[in-house]
Structure 1
Amino acid sequence: MIDKYVVRNGKRLRYGYTTGSCAAAASRGGAQMLLTGKPVEEVKISTPKGWDLTLALFDCEVGEGWACCGIKKDGGDDPDATNGLMIYSRISWRQDNKINIEGGIGVGRVTKKGLPVAVGKAAINPVPLQMIEKEVREIIGKERGVDIEIFVPKGEKIAVKTFNPRLGIQGGISILGTSGIVEPMSEEAWKESLSLEVSVAKEEGLDKLIFVPGNYGRDLVKNNYSFQDNYVIKTSNFIGFMLDKAVGYKIKKVLLVGHLGKLVKVAGGIFHTHSKVADGRREILAAYVGLLGASAEEIKSVLNSNTTEEAVTLLQQMKKEEIFPLLAQKITEKARERTAEEIDIGTIIFTMEHGILAICPEGKKLLEEFKE
């Protein structure tokens, strides 16, 4: 257990360690047992972050020419699906001095291009591979070699709760981590996971995508249009970041589909849409309804609305429905500005209560293209 903390949104959150650190620690422990023929209670490893970890070993076994042990994953206070999983390493001698690392049961296999691991290989990322080799080499020296199998008995069951199915990683979890340490509620880790979907889509030959902030947008696309799932990519609150990634991967066209409560912020130039970063929904709606000639009292009622749904009802009662296509077009314009007009962009906005509110002209063209 790591006794280090970070404060986020007023809460004290504990750091954890990655599946990559677990695999490296289990492999070091296995190497020690292989060398001595005796069980080991704990091991100490270094991480790329510069922190040392001392971790307890579980289920230690030693046989003729092999050893096996496990590490219990501790993600700290991060909402991690792999938290508590047992990650094992089985290590055995080779006749040469090479270190061969493979994935066994519960470690996924890569089936799509665009990931840092080649198609057909076990989903053990480059940094964890380096960590495993470093820790084992320190124990066995340069003259000996070993085969290492990383396996996770419950990995296949847990993998369905991760991004792996979307990324084409089948049969288990990934062994991940660039620092060896899990930073609780890390935006960077979340964004990196999201951007991998753009990379995979590009490798599949897709040059147009549908970006949805969340499940509501995904459900609307699924229920209203018969588009293939691999076109639809979730952005969460990081709309600007994902548009930047689309430019980087040379995506040509993006259709934004989202709840008005999220996408209206983009109309105001807000590309990180978490309410704790910026929440100008009512102010933006009030500004545009004022542009359409609403009275001071009407503008005030929009500003005082509790939710976006309530604001939409008020706008309909005012007979100001023309605001919705105006907002859809403005969202498109702001997104195109963000991408330096390198991507053709269209927008669909909706609410749960009122359904689709507007589709900008570019959005209508893209809808037809996706239908084709």
Structure 2
Amino acid sequence: MKNNENSPYGITTGSAAAAAAVAALLTINRNIISQIDIETPFGILKIDINCSRKINSNSGRACVVKMPYNDPDVTTNLKICADVKITENNEIKIKGGEGVGKVTKPGLQIPVGEHAINPVPRQMIKTNLQKVLPKGKGAEVTVFVPKGEEIAKKTMNSRLGITDGISILGTTGIARPMSSKAYKESLACQIDVAVAEGYEDLIFVPGNIGERLAVKILDAPKDKIVQMSNFVGYMLDKAEEKGISKIILFGHAGKLIKIAAGIFNTKNSVADGRREIIAAYCGLLGADKKLIGSIFKSKTTEDMITILDKENMTFSVFELIGKSIKEKCQEKYNIDFDIIIVTMNGRILNKQ
């Protein structure tokens, strides 16, 4: 597979780092190349080399641009670079440089204090360098990402305790469309970090708004808060696998109420149903046709709450919805749940 924007797949930062390392080594003997084959768990990948140069008689540098494909992420078009120095032993040492994050919390695949270059990328670098290293020689590899610290602000790294840069990732060598798989795995890492910090009961929130409100309202430490994004079912599966005993589901009404209808992927394009859910519970409480019609004409959950406020029905409706959310979750998971539903400004809508 070739690294280009017409491919259905992209390459991982790990594959880019491995290709850069091999190209850097080859430049020492003035072998300047524009493309290189590297071995990955997926198979052989052809990866374009953006630039390479000889530093001195035993060192070289090369960079790979992580090219766009049909489902780009924040690392698309980022330069992933490597400096390689030949050493006199047969050991290959790998470290991070500028723009590669450093692990500061336990619970991840890499020990605290080391750079966030995951095990599979490390092995890819070693495997591919061993093919071209002179017999009996080793190498010191420094992976660096010139804009990595800036790009890392758009990733989950700070939540995972990875500071000052991006992670060098990948388990197969290729990035699949919507690496929703990779994204979900990064979300699940939050649970590992929380468990390593000693927490057995956690607070799950949909995203940044929920986290901010949970910190403010519950006075919760950030390490205890886990962002689910839209992947409620996936994250609860992982929580159960990891032995979490209690979860507070805390978040805005527009996300959490979907769970009351058994919707465990809350992305709007997958399932919406917000007005239908609120209308159904209004009906259970005896609301008239006019009120239910007003709910159906509303564009946002906040608008629906405003309508319920005028009828003094908000607490009654969301108390029922909260109980239903808890029932749906406890039907599927052996976890004790509490449900806290809030508005955008942090007003709690149900009994906790």
Shared fold by TM > 0.5? yes
Which aligned pairs between 1:21-100 and structure 2 lie closer than 5 A? 21-34=15-28, 36-50=29-43, 52-100=45-93
User: For the residues of structure 1 that align with 2:58 and 2:346, how far apart are their CA atoms?
Assistant: 67
Which aligned pairs between 1:143-222 and structure 2 lie closer than 5 A? 143-222=136-215
Matching residue's letter, 2:336: D
Q: Give CA-to-partner distance per residue, 1:14-34, whole Å, 9 cap, x none.
A: x43221111111111122223
- Which position in structure 2 is the counterpart of 1:331? 325
User: For the residues of structure 2 that align with 1:142 and 1:269, how far apart are their CA atoms?
Assistant: 61
Aligned length: 349
Query: Which deviates the most, 257-266 or 295-304?
Result: 295-304
Pair 1:359-2:348 in alignment: no
Matching residue's letter, 2:280: A
- Which position in structure 2 is the counterpart of 1:121? 114
Pair 1:279-2:267 in alignment: no
Q: 1:310 to 1:353 in 2, by over 3 A?
A: farther
Which aligned pairs between 1:231-246 and structure 2 lie closer than 5 A? 231-246=224-239
User: For the residues of structure 2 that align with 1:215 and 1:93, how far apart are their CA atoms?
Assistant: 45
Which of residues 341, 350, 364 in structure 1 aligns to 2:342? 350
Q: Residue 353 of structure 1: CA displacement?
A: 6.3
User: For the residues of structure 2 that align with 1:174 and 1:241, how far apart are their CA atoms?
Assistant: 23
Q: 1:40 to 1:288 in 2, by over 3 A?
A: same
User: For the residues of structure 2 that align with 1:149 and 1:271, how far apart are their CA atoms?
Assistant: 42
* Cα contact 1:211–1:254 (8 A) shared by 2: yes
Matching residue's letter, 2:4: I
- Which position in structure 2 is the counterpart of 1:298? 291
* Cα contact 2:88–2:136 (8 A) shared by 1: no
User: For the residues of structure 2 that align with 1:217 and 1:354, how far apart are their CA atoms?
Assistant: 9
Q: Give CA-to-partner distance per residue, 1:92-122, whole Å, 9 cap, x none.
A: 2222222222222322221211111122222
- Which position in structure 2 is the counterpart of 1:110? 103
User: For the residues of structure 2 that align with 1:93 and 1:190, how far apart are their CA atoms?
Assistant: 36
Q: Residue 212 of structure 1: CA displacement?
A: 0.8
User: For the residues of structure 2 that align with 1:256 and 1:131, how far apart are their CA atoms?
Assistant: 40
Matching residue's letter, 1:129: R
SS in 1 for 2:323: helix
* Cα contact 1:40–1:57 (8 A) shared by 2: no
Which aligned pairs between 1:8-23 and structure 2 lie closer than 5 A? 15-23=9-17
* Cα contact 1:16–1:74 (8 A) shared by 2: yes
Q: Residue 238 of structure 1: CA displacement?
A: 0.7
SS in 1 for 2:249: strand
User: For the residues of structure 1 that align with 2:158 and 2:344, how far apart are their CA atoms?
Assistant: 27
Query: Which deviates the most, 233-242 or 288-297?
Result: 288-297
User: For the residues of structure 2 that align with 1:192 and 1:104, how far apart are their CA atoms?
Assistant: 25
User: For the residues of structure 2 that align with 1:74 and 1:3, how far apart are their CA atoms?
Assistant: 6
Q: Residue 38 of structure 1: CA displacement?
A: 3.9
Instruction: Give the root-mean-square deviation of aligned CA atoms.
Output: 2.1
* Cα contact 2:49–2:62 (8 A) shared by 1: no
* Cα contact 1:48–1:179 (8 A) shared by 2: yes
Q: Residue 309 of structure 1: CA displacement?
A: 1.8
Q: Give CA-to-partner distance per residue, 1:67-103, whole Å, 9 cap, x none.
A: 1211122243545333333222111222222222222
SS in 1 for 2:349: strand
User: For the residues of structure 1 that align with 2:218 and 2:328, how far apart are their CA atoms?
Assistant: 25
Q: 1:97 to 1:106 in 2, by over 3 A?
A: same
TM-score by length of 1: 0.87
SS in 1 for 2:280: helix
- Which position in structure 2 is the counterpart of 1:10? none
* Cα contact 1:75–1:182 (8 A) shared by 2: no
Q: 1:131 to 1:294 in 2, by over 3 A?
A: same
